[in-house]
């Protein structure tokens, strides 16, 4: 699938790090180092603009290494970029750790994953098919 991109940053285009990677790395497009303090969230610009085909979306996801080693996650993960959005991609980062985190220009801050969309059509009904779980909510399928 081809995606049109405008890259206004001084970074390379997002890219897959290995042939088996699902996500492309997004990089921070900031003029100088910024600090993300514990418990804070921040919208980090990327300088990337996309034209995503209809029936697809792009998702912004945390980088596993940043999440595990530094406690830095994408707050609304996965963040959705709709096919009709044409603005700059920004990444909402959150510091869940107890120490400040430095974001430098060009740092890899998140992953960009493309996926297809299935649109639902509602069928109004007065009853739903019964299942073993039925209306059992959180934790109803066991504790393990």
**Residue ranges of domains in the chain, CATH in brackets:** 4-116 (2.70.40.10)
Describe the strand order of the beta sheet including 56-61 as a list of residue ranges: 24-27, 108-116, 56-61, 79-81
Rounded Cα–Cα distance for residues 115 and 118 (Å) = 10
Give per-residue pLDDT as tens, 64-109.
999 999 999 999 989 999 999 999 999 999 999 999 999 999 999 9
54-70 exposure pattern, b = at least 16 Cβ within 10 A, e = fewer: eeebbbbbbbeebbeeb
Q: 47 and 7 in contact (C-beta within 8 Å)?
A: yes
Q: pLDDT per residue over 44-66, tens digit each?
A: 999 999 999 999 999 999 999 99
Instruction: Work out whether the CA dihedral 50, 34, 62, 37 comes out positive or negative.
Output: negative
- What is the predicted pLDDT for the residue at 104? 98
Q: 141 pLDDT exceeds 70?
A: no
pLDDT of residue 132: 81
The answer to which of 11-15, 30-34, 38-42, 75-79 has the lowest mean pLDDT is 75-79
| pLDDT digit string, tens, across residues 8-24 | 999 999 999 999 999 99
């Amino acid at each position: 699938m081809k995606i049109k991109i405008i890259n206004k940053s001084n970074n390379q285009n997002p890219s897959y790090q290995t042939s088996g990677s699902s996500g492309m790395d997004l990089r921070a497009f900031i003029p100088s180092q910024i600090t993300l303090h514990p418990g804070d969230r921040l919208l980090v610009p990327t300088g990337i603009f996309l034209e995503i085909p209809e029936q697809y979306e792009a998702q912004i996801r945390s980088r596993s290494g940043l999440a595990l080693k530094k406690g830095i996650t994408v707050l609304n993960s996965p963040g959705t970029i709709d096919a009709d959005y044409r603005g700059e991609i920004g990444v909402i980062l959150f510091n869940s750790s107890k120490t400040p985190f430095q974001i430098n220009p060009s740092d890899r801050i998140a992953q960009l994953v493309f996926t297809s969309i299935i649109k639902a059509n509602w069928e109004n009904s007065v009853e739903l098919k019964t299942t073993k779980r039925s209306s059992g909510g959180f934790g109803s399928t066991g504790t393990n």
